[in-house]
A and B are shown apart, each in its own frame.
Chain A
Amino acid sequence: MIATLLDIVTSAAILYAVAAGLLIVFGVMKIINFAHGGFLTIGGYSALAVTKLGWNPWASLVFATGIGFVAGMIIERLVVKPLYSRPLDAILATWGLGIIIGQLITIAFGREVQFVQSPMSGAIEFAGASYSSYRLVLVLAATVIGVGIAALLQKTRLGLVTRAVIMNEDLARGLGINSGLVRFFTFSLGAALASLAGALITPLSSVDPNMGVPWLVNAFMLVLVSGVSFMSLLVATVVFGGAQVLVSTYVSPVLGGLTIVVAAAVLMRVRPQGFSRE
C-alpha cells in the first residue's frame, strides 16, 4: 500500500519533471515541441557519457542541463524561429529534429540498450516499507525543478516578462519587451529541462536512441490537459500518474502504459479545457 503510494508520488514527480519543459515552451510559443523527446534522449546519453568518462554520476545532471540548453539555442535559431507563424509545421519540423537527434545518437553510441551508473543505490526504510532511495531523490529533484521554475517565473524580471509574453504577446511588445528573445530563452530552457529530466530518469531504466518517445507522448498529453498552468500540470501529473500506477499494478502494465494517453484524449473530448479552471 505504502509502496503503491510512493510509486504514485515518484511517477507524478518524474512526469512533472519531463512535462515542465514542454509546458513552458507551449505556453510562450504556442507550439508543441516534438523534439522534446529528442532532448530527453540527449540528457540520457549525456548521463551515459558521464558514466563512460568515469566522472561522478551526479555531474551528469549539470552536464545534461548544459548540453540541452546549447542544443535548444541552436535549434531555436535554425528551425523553430522561421516557423512561428506556422504552428502545425513547427510540430512536423520538431518531429523531424527528433529523428535527426535519434539517428545522430545511434551513430555515435550504437543502437543497443545501455546502462548508466546510478548516483546512489540501495533502499531506505520508509513508513515500514523499503523503497529505492534514488526514486525518493527523484521526488526531491522534481520538487526542486518545480520550485525553481515557480521562483524563476514569479520572482524575477525575466519571469515577469515571460509571463507577460504568455498572456499577451502584442501588448508585451508594445511595452518594449523583445518577445523574440523571450522565445529564444524559453525554448532553450525547455530543452535544458528535458535533458535534465532525461539524465534523472536514466538510472531507473536504461538508455536507447528511442527512449524519449513514450515520455514525449505522455508529457504532451499532460501539457494539453493542463492549459498553460503549472498548477494544473501538477494536478494532471498526480491524477494521471496515479491512474497509470494503479492500472499497471492492478490490471496490466501494458494497459498502464496507455492510461495517460487514452484518459487525456477522452478528457479533452468531454472537457476541452482539461484541468485548467476556465
Chain B
Amino acid sequence: MSAASALSVSGVSSGYGEAVIVRDVSLAMESGEILALLGKNGMGKSTLLKTIMGFLPVRSGGSIRVFGDTVSGLPPYRVARRAIAYTPQEQALFQDLTVEENLRLGLRDDRTFDAGLARVTKAFAFVGERLAQRAGTLSGGEQKMLLVARALMAAPKLMLIDEITEGLQPSVIERLAGVLRAQRDEFGTAILLVEQNVRFALSVADSFALIKSGEIVDRGRVGDAGAEASIGTHLSV
C-alpha cells in the first residue's frame, strides 16, 4: 500500500444507525486499475461506496485516503472535488434537467464544457445530438450511458460506479465496457466497479474483491488461478 494508491481504505466499518453493514474493510487500488467489487445484494457494496464518498461516517479506527490524502471525515462535496466521479445506483440523474445540464453538473468549471463534450461524444455520439432533451425522457440504456458520460466530463482520476449494467441489454453493456477500458488506458483512471453482473465485471476488470456480509472475503487478479472458482462459490445462486 504505497502512499500514491489511487484509493486506500483501511479498517473501515460503517452502516446506518446502529446497523453495521461494512465491517473492517481494507482495500487498495492503483491508478490505471479497474477493480470489480463483487457480492450479492445487501452485502455492503453500495454502502462502502457511500462511505468512501462521505455520505456515511467512518466508524472509529478506520481511514480512507485518495491519492495519499485522507478524505474520511470530509463532506461529500469535498471528497468529490478530488477528481472523483461517483455514479450512484439509484436516482443518479437529474431527471427534470436536460442532457446538457446533467453534463454540466459533472464539471466544476463551465469553461471546460466544450472540451469535455468533445471527449464524451466520441464515446456516446447520441449525447451530443440530444443536449436539449430532458434526461428523464431518455431510454433506460441511454440514461446509463449519460451517467457514464457525466462522470467522464471532468476527466476524473478515480471513478466509483455502482451497478451501471443493471437492466441493460448486452450490446449497451459491451459499449460501456469498451468506454471504461479506453478511459483507463488513455488517462490512467482508477475505476471501482460495484457489480452484480459478474460476466461484465470480469470482462473489464483487472482485479476483483469479493464482499460478503460486509467483509472482504477474497481479493485477487482476474486471470489468477482459482479466481473463477472462488467467485463462483461465493456468488452461486
Contact = CB atoms under 8 A, between A and B. Distances in A.
Interface of A: 157, 160-161, 163-164, 167-168, 170-179
A167 B97 contact: yes
Contacts of B86: 174-175
A188 B93 CA distance: 28
A161 B101 CA distance: 9
Interface residues of B, number: 21
Nearest to A161: B105
Contacts of A170: 55, 76
A172 B104 CA distance: 12
B80 A173 contact: yes
Interface in B79-103: 80-81, 86, 88, 91-92, 94-97, 101
A174 B80 contact: yes
Given A164-B105, A176-B108, A171 B80 contact: no
B53 to A, nearest CB: 6
A164 B97 contact: yes
B110 interface: yes
B195 to A, nearest CB: 19
Given A163-B101, A175-B105, A175-B106, 17 more contacts: A160-B97, A160-B101, A163-B94, A164-B97, A167-B94, A167-B97, A168-B91, A170-B76, A171-B92, A173-B55, A173-B76, A173-B80, A174-B53, A174-B80, A174-B86, A176-B81, A177-B77
Contacts of A175: 77, 80, 86, 105-106
Contacts of B55: 170, 173-174
Contacts of A163: 94, 97, 101
B178 interface: no
Interface string B178-205: 0000000000000000000000000000
Interface of B: 53, 55, 75-77, 80-81, 86, 88, 91-92, 94-97, 101, 104-106, 108, 110
Contacts of A176: 77, 80-81, 108
A178 B81 CA distance: 10
Nearest to A163: B97
A178 B77 contact: yes
A163 B97 CA distance: 9
Q: Is the interface of A mostly helix, strand, loop or mixed?
A: helix
A58 B106 CA distance: 42
B104 A174 contact: no
Contacts of A173: 55, 75-77, 80
B189 to A, nearest CB: 17
A201 to B, nearest CB: 33
Given A160-B101, A160-B104, A164-B105, A174 B96 contact: no
A157 B108 CA distance: 10
A230 to B, nearest CB: 14
12 contacts: A163-B94, A163-B101, A167-B95, A167-B96, A167-B97, A170-B55, A171-B94, A174-B55, A174-B77, A175-B86, A176-B80, A176-B81
B53 A172 contact: no
B105 A174 contact: no
B80 to A, nearest CB: 4
A171 B92 CA distance: 7
A30 B223 CA distance: 51
A181 to B, nearest CB: 9
A69 to B, nearest CB: 24
A164 B101 CA distance: 9
A160 B106 CA distance: 12
A174 B76 contact: yes
A243 to B, nearest CB: 30
B54 to A, nearest CB: 8
B94 A168 contact: yes
